[in-house]
């Protein structure tokens, strides 16, 4: 258990190290990223074992969702960092004459705090850490107490790889998180729920610390399946995604809106896909992940009981292993309570709508809090593109699920209740650096245009020149 003084000492030690200027060297940062990559590869089996213990992940799913993406992004960052960090040169403009050029430097914030969640404990700790390193910062990582095995593995990993004055990991519960938030950091990156994010922002505001938030969205992510969609393709992809991490994913589908003209055919195909991928009793399948805590399992049981008369598939579980089957609820009204908050579990409500009245369901989505993701299945690409360009959400896919976040060079995050800021690749570098504009003045040929007097015989000439320079 950490004390307030111990945490303060870690932060001050990192602040002193940052002031040495060592992290400003881009070559040094690249060396740290290479060290991080080598360590991840060396600890791969430990991470996979920890993910199995905490979340019941199979080896393949652990690598697919946590370990592999870190390696990919480290490689992308090492390759692009020199270019991203290069100072920009801008033409200053006639208003600044005789100072012709201005530089924009990408400067690190300093000492950063990374608060990571339980659902992807390796990815969302080290994935954010690599962005902080790329930006030239030091970092304190506060991991989730719910994913205890992963936290233990990460703590060992960080201690073996980096000095505490540069990178440190702090474990513990909410009380320890609050002790971290009480410190003055230069940047905070939090991943988790909107409610906790409000607390993080409130604490950060006391020191006016800039914050990046990656949140799931207050009312969850929608998936829209229109009457002209390829039903089998949609069902296959949706089933895969809902099975992944037992639905405990911030970009996962919270509820499906399906055209009632194809609802029965779609539900049959979705059920068949769940059975094909994990069997008729997924909760007894060794490869199917478990829920993180007993309380989450009990929440699933309670919701299942509440909507017992509308269970189309699933609704069963094994309490001892905390595995709850993917559960289709149908029909669910668009105003039912279950589709007005993030579920973060394998329960999947399905809301029917008339395909000719699709605009009404889009209005419902728009009126609720901005989701982190939006997924549309349809053969009408023109309509789909228009929807994706007019709805507000973090990111999404047309006729696909989740893989938008795997694309190199593009940002990931939401807006409002689904987050603020963005990261991955160059966007992560930008999130952890501040652009500083520097103009170098001249000691000769300086014009008196900006200086007093402004009136009298000078007024007409100065006004004429000012308006000319504004063009």
Q: Which two tokens stand for residue 284?
A: 């007894």
Quote helix, strand, coil % in the chain, to nearest 5: 50, 20, 35
Q: Which two tokens stand for residue 12?
A: 């001050």
Rounded to whole angstroms, what are the CA distances from 455 to 267, 436, 449, 460?
78, 35, 12, 8
Rounded to whole angstroms, what are the CA distances from 179 to 94, 148, 168, 207, 214?
51, 19, 15, 14, 21
* Strand spans (E) along 402-444: 419-420, 433-439
Q: Which of 44, 73, 214, 218 is catalytic?
A: 214
User: For 418, what's the count of Cα atoms within 13 Å in the CB-facing half-sphere?
Assistant: 29
CB-CB contact of 362 with 374 (8 Å): no
Q: Phi/psi at 384 (nearest 5 deg)? A: -60, -45
Q: What is the greatest pairwise CA distance in the chain?
A: 91
Q: Phi/psi at 116 (nearest 5 deg)? A: -105, 155
> Is 345 marked active-site?
no
d(CA 430, CA 413): 13
CB proximity list for 274: less than 8 A, separation 6 or greater: 239, 242, 243, 282, 313, 314, 326, 328
> Is 244 marked active-site?
no
d(CA 471, CA 332): 59
Q: Which of 223, 244, 250, 300 is catalytic?
A: 250
Residues labelled as active-site residues: 214, 250
């Amino acid at each position: 258990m950490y004390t307030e003084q111990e945490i303060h000492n870690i932060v001050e030690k990192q602040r002193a190290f940052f002031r040495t200027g060592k992290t400003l060297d881009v070559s040094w940062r690249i060396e740290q990223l290479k060290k991080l990559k080598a360590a991840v590869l060396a600890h791969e089996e430990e991470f996979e074992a920890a993910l199995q213990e905490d979340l019941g992940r199979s080896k393949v799913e652990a690598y697919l969702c946590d370990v592999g993406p870190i390696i990919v992004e480290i490689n992308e960052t090492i390759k692009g960092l020199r270019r991203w960090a290069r100072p920009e040169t801008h033409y200053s403009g006639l208003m600044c004459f005789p100072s012709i050029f201005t530089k924009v430097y990408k400067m690190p914030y300093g000492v950063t705090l990374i608060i990571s969640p339980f659902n992807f404990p390796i990815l969302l700790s080290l994935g954010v850490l690599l962005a902080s390193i790329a930006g030239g910062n030091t970092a304190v990582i506060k991991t989730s107490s719910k994913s205890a095995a992963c936290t233990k593995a990460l703590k060992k990993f960080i201690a073996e790889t980096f000095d505490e004055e540069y990178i440190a990991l702090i474990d513990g519960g909410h009380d320890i998180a609050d002790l971290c938030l009480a410190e003055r950091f230069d940047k905070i990156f939090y991943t988790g729920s909107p409610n906790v994010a409000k607390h993080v922002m409130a604490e950060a505001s006391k020191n006016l610390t800039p914050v990046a938030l990656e949140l799931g969205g207050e009312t969850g992510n929608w998936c829209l399946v229109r009457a002209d969609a390829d039903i089998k393709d949609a069902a296959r992809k949706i089933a895969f995604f809902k099975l992944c991490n037992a639905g405990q994913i911030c970009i996962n589908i919270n509820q499906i809106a399906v055209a009632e003209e194809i609802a029965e055919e779609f539900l049959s195909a979705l059920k068949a896909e769940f059975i094909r991928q994990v069997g008729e009793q997924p909760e007894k399948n060794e490869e199917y992940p478990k829920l993180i805590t007993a309380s989450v399992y009990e929440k699933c049981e309670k919701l299942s009981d509440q909507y017992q008369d509308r269970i189309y598939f699933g609704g069963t579980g094994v309490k001892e292993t905390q595995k709850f089957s993917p559960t289709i609820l149908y029909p669910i009204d668009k105003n039912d309570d279950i589709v007005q908050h993030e579920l973060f579990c394998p329960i999947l409500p399905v809301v029917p709508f008339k395909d000719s009245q699709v605009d009404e369901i889009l209005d419902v989505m728009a009126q609720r809090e901005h989701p982190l993701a939006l997924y549309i299945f349809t053969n009408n690409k023109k309509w789909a593109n228009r929807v994706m360009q007019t709805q507000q959400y973090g990111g999404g896919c047309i006729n696909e699920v989740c893989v938008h976040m795997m694309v190199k060079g593009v940002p990931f995050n939401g807006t409002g209740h689904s987050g603020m800021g963005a990261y991955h690749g160059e966007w992560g570098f930008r999130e952890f650096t501040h652009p500083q504009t520097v103009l170098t003045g001249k000691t000769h040929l300086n014009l008196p245009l900006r200086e007093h007097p402004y009136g009298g015989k000078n007024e007409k000439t100065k006004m004429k020149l000012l308006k000319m320079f504004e063009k």
